[in-house]
Amino acid sequence: MCGRFAQKLPSLRLVDMFRTTPLKANVPPNYNVAPTQTAMVVFAHPEKKERELAVMQWGLIPPWSKTGKMEFATFKSQV
């Protein structure tokens, strides 16, 4: 997993590209999405069998996590 990424397209553009239902608000681009921040995600809904656009938290939760939270830093500074 990368530490950060850029989400250059606003939500309305993603709705057009992936033919999903729009979010309640137009989410602007974010050029510095870091772990623990929210980001727009297009995913295949398992029950509806169609694509959806949602705002989700970016990060890695390891499968051995007992709390379902990010308990430890994914990246550790060596400085």
CA distance 37 to 32: 10
Q: Which residue has the tokens 């705002």?
A: 55
pLDDT, residue 59, reads 78
pLDDT, residue 27, reads 86
**Domains contained in the chain, number:** 1
Q: What is the value of pTM for the model shown?
A: 0.70
**Ranges under pLDDT 50 in the chain:** none
Helix (H) or strand (E) holding 33: strand 30-33
pLDDT, residue 74, reads 58
> What domain range includes position 45?
1-79
pLDDT, residue 75, reads 55
Helix (H) or strand (E) holding 13: helix 11-18
pLDDT, residue 53, reads 92
